[in-house]
Structure 1
């Protein structure tokens, strides 16, 4: 089984509802930060919010990874600063049981993205790891430095446009 590290982050202009997500797939744990920075993929999303953008970015990354992997079994460690994504695996049974309705009988805003998340992660061994974003450089480990690549890419792309 092939193990991959996946780093995702997003940055959004909340007034314009436009954001950029970025992801990085690391297959070689010994790869240098310098080499990895050229492998970060950014993408523009419209009509989005910060929560929605993180999900959209992850779904985009998962779809591309699944396509590239084909029938090869893969295991993913997904690094994100999104608490929503971190909590989704534990929320699955309740969300499905309630047909993606809240306790006040209102359909959840991102229910279609949640459904796509469960569909794309089924059959893949996934571990989700919460990363604390925006650490001081002297306190950053290797995972933090890799996460900073997607953070910089998404924020940089948004700044370039606006």
Structure 2
């Protein structure tokens, strides 16, 4: 099972759109084994937070129990989280000053989710030229475009509501 996630945030309004695409084993770029891209709007978010929110929402939505899942993301934070787990748990998700770290609950939820699954994480280079893209890169581009287009539509709707007031 292959899961591709991405998110796009409007930093002024702190709203964002997360998206995921799920493909079963043995997929092909033009194959029906690829599900439609799902999107969800998130409020009061940031780019780091949204990437985690989108991934957790995707994992919750698809419930991939007892299956190996390859997760593709352009989020360096998500890619690095498994390697930071020991330090985060040892410090009880607190900074050096003793304050809870930002996104603490999302990190806890992330580790709880991946403990139930066999996950492998892969870094995708986002926003690269067409030349040299493989199938995963092309699928990621579709997810990335979907999030950016959904965010643009949301901005346009917000502007039209503001003008009508």
Q: TM-score, normalised by structure 2?
A: 0.88
Report what 2:87 is aligned to: 94
Report what 1:131 is aligned to: 124
**Are 1:111 and 2:104 an aligned pair?**
yes
Q: 1:43 to 1:145 in 2, by over 3 A?
A: same
Aligned length: 155
Q: Which has the higher contact order (CA 8 A, sep 6+)?
A: 1
Specify the SS of the correspondent of 2:71. Answer: strand
After TM superposition, the runs of 4+ consecutive aligned structure 1 residues lying more than 3 A away are: 33-38
Structure 2 residues not aligned, in runs of 5+: 156-165
Q: TM-score, normalised by structure 1?
A: 0.90
- Within 2, Cα distance between the matches of 1:65 and 1:30? 17
Q: What value does the CA root-mean-square deviation take over the aligned residues?
A: 1.6
Specify the SS of the correspondent of 1:139. Answer: coil
Deviation sequence 1:6-51 (CA, Å, 0-9, x none): 0000000001000000001110433334757861001100000000
Deviation sequence 1:134-160 (CA, Å, 0-9, x none): 110112111100111110110010011
Report what 1:11 is aligned to: 8
Offset of residue 53 of structure 1: 0.2
* Higher radius of gyration, 1 or 2: 2
